[in-house]
Structure 1
Amino acid sequence: MGKKTIHVSDFSGTVLQTDDEVVRVVVLEHPDLVTGPVQLEISPTEAEAIDDAALDVAVVEIYDPHGDGEPRRVVLTASEFDAMATETPMAQLLRTAERVRPPKARKTAEKIDYGTIEHAGKPHRGRVTDEEATLVRERLDEVNKRLADAGLRQIDPADPEHAGRYGFPAPDDTTTVPGGNDTSTPDGVPFVTTQATPV
């Protein structure tokens, strides 16, 4: 059994017959709007009525010395605002007034958490955290597969740089003599082997 969605105008309650008749209106500011922007569905005719009723407005910010540095925004009709300029016409005043540079939009780059399996092991300039190093050591195959799939360098525990960065055990530093005899004890102290001479 199918379902049919019926849209009605939020303004008049009129049934909107097709999706093409549904006009979405977002109310950004209104004296009775207390919880932020809302959206309404209306008909194209009702949307035209909004356009016809639109006002030429001036939106200004007032920086009051007693306002704790926060401006208050005021919206008024353009004609009311123009009438306040009694010495020089408002149009001329606006052309010659000092320009205000809009504040630069801050780039809020998403911070990557390298302490998660999703990002652990990726090349980055920051310090490797204990969480990231542990993930790389304990799940190296999984990390390397993800890095390879992304076209990034893989981690090699035998590489001294990688070993130091992610806490892999350093390669064995013991030396051997020809024939494969180890010349150091487990605690790293060299020992001497002697060979008996036949009498």
Structure 2
Amino acid sequence: MGKKTIHVSDFSGTVLQPDDEVVRVVVLEHPDLVAGPVQLDATATEVESIDDAALDVAVVEIHDRHGGGEPRRVVLTASEFDALATDVPMAQLLKTAERVRPPKARKGAEKIDYGTIEHAGKPHRGRVTEEEARLVREQLDEVNKRLADAGIRQVDPADPEHAARYGFPAED
């Protein structure tokens, strides 16, 4: 028995033929988008009107007390934004405005907390905390399954090094 995969357009539900030009559309922002960007498949014909429908917009962040410490991101038409500049034309204002520097990247990698079930038992050079050792001892099967799924060596309580590292009782 064989299997056949049929690809359909996410927009229209029509079956995509092998000779159709499939276009991937990544939705970065949308009022109904709740869990981050998504991708949709469509034909080139279905998305050719997107460029014609595109708006000239300004995307701004408002840093004020209403955001609870976080900036509010607002999208408005470029002409609406341009109208806010009453002293100098917006094009000139944007050319002479103070540049915003992107936040500096943190040096080094994000510190991994081996005292959580997501990371407990992973090989590392640091000291094993009591929390990590307890998690490994109490949830050995879950830890080893996660390690095996990730292709990492598993914790063996019979291994003297592992027994000492994670506080397993000594084998007689």
Question: What TM-score results when the alignment is normalised by the length of structure 2?
Answer: 0.61
Q: Does 1:53 align with 2:53?
A: yes
Q: C-alpha separation between the residues in 1 aligned to 2:105 and 2:47?
A: 32
Moved more, 23-32 or 96-105: 23-32
- State how many pairs are aligned: 140
SS of residue in 2 equivalent to 1:16: coil
Q: 1:128 Cα deviation (Å)?
A: 5.6
Map of 1:31 onto structure 2:
31
> Looking at both structures, which has the greater relative contact order when contacts are Cα pairs under 8 Å and sequence separation is at least 6?
2
Q: 1:90 Cα deviation (Å)?
A: 1.0
Amino acid aligned to 2:74: V
Map of 1:109 onto structure 2:
110
Q: Does 1:139 align with 2:140?
A: no
Q: C-alpha separation between the residues in 2 aligned to 1:25 and 1:138?
A: 52
8 A Cα contact 1:115 1:129, kept in partner = no
Q: 1:24 Cα deviation (Å)?
A: 2.1
Map of 1:4 onto structure 2:
4
Q: 1:51 Cα deviation (Å)?
A: 2.4
Q: 1:46 Cα deviation (Å)?
A: 2.0
Q: Deviations over 1:165-196 (max 9, x none)?
A: xxxxxxxxxxxxxxxxxxxxxxxxxxxxxxxx
Q: 1:20 Cα deviation (Å)?
A: 5.9
Q: 1:3 Cα deviation (Å)?
A: 1.8
Identity of aligned residues (%): 71
Computing the radius of gyration from Cα coordinates, the structure with the larger value is: 1
The equivalences for 1:135-174 within 5 A come to 139-140=159-160
Question: What TM-score results when the alignment is normalised by the length of structure 1?
Answer: 0.54
Structure 2 spans left out of the alignment, 5+ residues = 134-154, 163-172
How large is the RMSD of aligned CA atoms in angstroms? 3.7
Q: C-alpha separation between the residues in 1 aligned to 2:19 and 2:76?
A: 36
Q: C-alpha separation between the residues in 1 aligned to 2:73 and 2:37?
A: 17
Q: 1:19 Cα deviation (Å)?
A: 7.5
Q: 1:138 Cα deviation (Å)?
A: 5.9
